[in-house]
Structure 1
Amino acid sequence: MKKSGREHSIAVKILPLAVILLFAVGALLYGANRWIIQIDILGDQTQYVEYGAEFEDPGAAAVRKGSIFSFIRKDLQVKTSSNVDPEKTGTYSVVYSATDGSSTETASRTVIVQDTVPPEISLKSDPDAYTLPGHEYEEEGYSASDNYDGDLTDRVDRQVKDGTVVYTVSDSSGNEKSVARTIVYDDRTPPELTLEGGDQTVTQGGSFEDSYTAIDDADGDITDRVTVDGTVDTETPGDYVLKYEVADSYGNKSQAQRTVTVSPKPAGDKIIYLTFDDGPGPYTARLLDVLAQYDVKATFFVTHAFPEYEDMLAREAAEGHTIGVHTYTHDYDLIYSSADAYWEDFEKMEQVIEAQTGKRSSIFRFPGGSSNTVSNFNPGIMTYLTQDSAARGYTYFDWNVSSGDASNTVTGSEVYQNILRECQMYKENVVLCHDVKSYTVDIIDDVIEWGLANGYVFAPLTPDSYTAHHGVAN
């Protein structure tokens, strides 16, 4: 349908007005538009970085755009300012800025450097280590270190409970670490089985009292568990072997054996026990030759005074003589200073005897005799030692016949006369001599010949022989 001329005229008049209005509105909007800078932070606004790790900044982007005509954009360069130190925990800021020449805008990102790694605990362990049942665990060792705090060993808390040791430590960031050690309870050591007196010799008709102990590191005293195989008939001369065995609660066993020699009872009722102190020395071999010539057995109370002659101990034992402990040092001030000092000296000599003969001794003679007064500087020491020696299973011997060679007698003829005179006073004679005196060794053959001619029997001492004890003076 065709428009009328009037309508066409109106349209022609309105169109220019519309265009003018449109431009007017556009100009108004453009004048109201403001240019703004927008910074967009890439990634999280708050980022967490592990201590010691590298911080990788995701960065930011910036544009200039209109507040109304936002589609009009221009990319801007972003400058970054950061104080982040990954080697130190804390909260940091990364600041981004952009400018269009007339204005500047900033934005910031929070970076938290944190330590979330717990400390490390290292346990030292000995594969052969164990703890005795009922005993406290002995620490094998441990250490603790942290990636931030360093050595934390001194901060470790250690708790022992129900067979486990728990070690716990925390670092300055509150990270905690615990490790546990299982305690190995075991007993791998056999009991200590001790035969008091070692091998022993008794005279026919005498008595043998068996004495031994068994001590275990876990079970304690288990002497009552010792079994003994063998018997001793003291009425019949011979060698009797006794075998001992004991086991602890973990099945660890110890065995030992001793030989008990029952020697024939000397014929007759007049006996001479020749005893020699302070050797072996330079004249001992000659003395042994004399004794062998007459088949006479004697007793040697030995010392460590002449180490170069200690091989004579083996010969003495091999030829049937009795060996007893005298002293290792013969130092009165040392050995009588205390009971411990005495037994320490005693044990050293026992070890020398055992090394040379393969056996320990069960008899001994006190340096100076049990009646000595050289020990008076320690009141009561001899009374204690005489009693203690019996409790330890030892028999001590004094003498009732003195050759005098320990004092002022310096000739063989005097030694000979002293022995003969005093032997005629007793039926049982324990004769004190010293094989380190040449003049004494020189006259022993004369003493033997006199004794045999006058009905005396010569014999070595045994634990049940006449002890000739003196009266204890201290």
Structure 2
Amino acid sequence: MAKRKIRKMRLAVLIGSIAVILIASVAGVSIFLLKKNKLLTTSKVELCIHETFDSKSYLRKKYQNKDINIAGEVQTDQLGEYELTYTFEDKQDVLRVFVVDRLIPEVTLKEATFIQGESVLPEELIESIHDDSATTVTFDQDYDFSELGDYTVKVIVTDEWDNQVTKETVIHIEKKDGTPPVMQGLSKMTAPASSPINYYEGVKAIDNQDPDPEFTADFSKVRESVPGNYEIYYTAKDRQGNEAVYTREIEITKVKDAQKVVYLTIDDGPSFNTPEILSILKRYNAKATFFVTGMCPEYYSYIKEAYDQGHAIGMHTYCHDYDKIYSSDEAYIEDLNKITDVVEAQIGYRPNIFRFPGGSSNTVSSHYNKGIISRLSDYSNRNGMIYYDWNADIGDGNAGLTAQDMITRAVESGDGITRIVMLMHDGRGSTESVKALPSIIQYYQDRGYVFKALEDTSPTAHHRIYN
């Protein structure tokens, strides 16, 4: 009886031991499956923002060439914490990545002028700041700006990660000024009708305190194509806001014994119509001016082809989107620079001639930004740019006209004009224009006209600015 109990006890112990072994084995497998840090050399890493990140570089050597599944994404240009999960067969690890900012702010300061007694804030000395987090701007010490003169100061810029940079600049303290600048060089001007005019030539503003006062010219009242006497208005302003307006006379004279010329100007290309137009111009030994756009990059090569054949190239617009380019002066200048870049890439230099979309007389632009054409015409004149309008056209800006309609329009609009600046188009919708062109050239050549490309001295045919 006792022996039987002992055997039962031994059997129970044996079964229990087997169960423990089995449970331990299963638990061991689970622990093995979940165990971390088998694939990676570390569980976390810190990166500086914009630093290059290679997710595989943290694998242990024996896994470097294995097909490891990596889930998750690290954006090294965004500050923050990220998590990557690495899985290979029955192993899994997690890598926490902290993208932090260790870069000092990129700061450019400017000199500034203040009136005696004004408060001087360090933020007013900032030209630009580039950093990945918010910044604060302070002086390195308390300055006393009560006396007139120049002060060399230090400005400290600190970001949210305590990265800091110190820059130095100069502050000018001036006495209160009530005297506006004086304009010099306002002697009477004379210019032939429709010729390009530089309204800034020989003119400058002088101020008693400001060494570089600004001034602008308003020549919107000058009818450049109509002989007569007109006035130009110059507004001079110093850095303290003192302003004065000055008047200058200009006489537009009649052009005598001018050669009969057609300056054919072609807008909105290049397109698939451009090569046919080039072929027609070559056949009639006629030169033209192409005011190009950036709308069809696949045809940019025709810009160079036209230039190589002796035609002039000018800028029209990159996008031809009125509400975009006329939204601000800066938007227009940006668009003009973009199409100038395109032209330079094709012909090797940046021309100084351009045409406003819609011409300088367009009234659409005023819906987006009142007075923008007046300001841009002043900008172009100040920067040596010449804009060209037209005094005749073939009418192909109107949809639905046939080639015969365009021939009639070209003849009627140029009647009686000695120096014709004629508008036509070679965009994607200009198929009828191409058909009309041979007859238009033939008509004017039969009447003693020559077809020339625009030059800096060619007639501008400026319209009246209405916005």
For the superposition of Structure 1 and Structure 2, which TM-score range results when normalised by the shorter chain? Answer: 0.3 to 0.5
TM-score, length of structure 2 as denominator length: 0.47
TM-score, length of structure 1 as denominator length: 0.46
**Larger-Rg structure:** 1
